[in-house]
Amino acid sequence: MSIFDHKLSTIARSRRSVLRSLARLAGTGVALPFVAALEPSRAFAQTPAPPAGPPPRPAPQPGTRLVLLGTHGGPGIEQNRAETASAVVVDGTPYLVDCGYGSLRNLVLSTIGYQQLDTIFFTHLHDDHTSDLPALMSHQWTGGAKKTSTEIYGPPGTTKLIEAALGFLRSNTEIRMVDEGRTIDPVTLFHGHDVPATPAPTRVFADDRVTVTAVESAHFPARATAKMTHRALAYRFDTKQRSIVFTGDTAYSENIVGLAKGADLFVCECMAQSVYEANIARAREAEAAGNPVSIARHVAETHSTPRDVGRMAAKAQVKTVVLHHLLPGARQPGGLDYPLSNFTDGVRAEFAGEVIVGQDLMVL
């Protein structure tokens, strides 16, 4: 078999595997993703073909939609899930929450696009939530069509992050301003805003479509926050039609319970129980070897098990849980490493409402 034939048969196998996974999801009643207009009731039945050019943008639709752009948990590049990103689309206007690697491509595949995106929120500044920001800023500026500014909100350090991203873009902008006669200085287009991290909900943004409040989440333990100014946030979006809460990365958090009271959608990170147990075991081994601070300890202590998700959702009395930032993601082409029950059983043991396992390009 030639290398080319081998590639074709691998692609065919992975397509069959995607279809099998989607069929399994359909059988469990889990919502399926789709790519196209922002209608929550439609689903695609096969892997979408790459668009030949920029997809046509549908006319803005009234209402509030949640679009999951990247649902992979933690840093890592894989075939089926992009790093973390979501969009809240209110009457056709998008607001981005996090911008991990793959966000830009999935903004295009979702038909939201990226040129008209004016408002971005970072839950925290880990790279699996920020990696695509320089690419987004670069293409917004180089695309040339953007006339309005992009305002980027996040925890302390966000303003510096934007200044650094502008530094990354400087050679490109200098060359094109000299050689192509461009006149808009990107410094006038991109602005960072540091948001305070508070235990009680604090309003951090409002316009005529949405009000956004934030609290500090439980992603950075006291042993770390004692030595740094970095903090992690959870956000709540309230629109005329809906309330949507994004936990960002977090362990169980009473702050988030307070933020999420009665929310329609609770978009919560989730680490499979087996991942938690494996990392606790590794952390203990590392500690016994004289390394009390380890990646395994970070994973186990600063993320949420399915039961943690269920306890927060039940106490906050949210209507629907949307599992997001899934640890582990799907590492095999077309398949999940773990059955969905590894994520959902623990949640359902604590929470009686609807539970949806998020997928990239899912619209709710």
Residues interacting with Zn ion, by CB under 5 A? 126, 128, 249
Between 63 and 75, name the residue whose CB sits nearer to Zn ion. 75
Where b means 16+ CB within 10 Å and e means fewer, 44-79 reads eeebeeeeeeeeeeeeeeebbbbbbbbbbbbeeeee
Please, which residue, 85 or 112, has the CB nearer to Zn ion?
Answer: 85
Residue closer to Zn ion by CB (options 17, 294) is 294
CB of 247 to Zn ion, least distance (A): 11
Minimum distance between the CB of residue 328 and Zn ion, rounded to whole angstroms? 13
Which residues partner with 150 through β-bridges?
190
Measured from the CB atom, the residue of 173 and 217 that comes closer to Zn ion is 217
Select from 141, 135, 298 the least CA-distant residue to 232. 298
In angstroms, what is the minimal distance from the CB of 73 to Zn ion?
6
The sign of the CA dihedral 151, 144, 126, 157 is negative
Give the Cβ contact number of residue 337 at 10 Å. Answer: 14
Least separation in angstroms between CB 121 and Zn ion: 14
Burial of 189 (0-12, 13-18, 19+ CB in 10 A): middle
Residue matched to tokens 């936990």: 247
Of 34 and 220, CB closest to Zn ion: 220
Of 217 and 239, which has the nearer Cβ to Zn ion?
Answer: 217
Supply the minimum distance, in Å, between the C-beta of residue 249 and Zn ion: 4
Smallest gap from residue 124 Cβ to Zn ion (A) = 6
Give the CA distances from residue 88 to residues 118, 132, 133, 244, 363, in Å, rounded to whole numbers and listed in that order: 12, 18, 17, 8, 10
For residue 40, say if its preceding peptide bond is cis, omega within 30 degrees of 0: no
**Shortest spacing between CB 56 and Zn ion, in angstroms:** 33
Give me the phi and psi of 132, to 5 degrees please: -90, 0
Residue among 150 and 302 whose Cβ is closer to Zn ion: 302
**34 vs 246, beta carbon nearer Zn ion:** 246
Q: At its nearest, how many Å lie between Zn ion and the CB of residue 95? A: 19
What b/e string do you get for 102-111 counting C-beta neighbours within 10 Å, with b at 16 or more?
Answer: bbbbbbbbbb
135, amino acid identity:
A
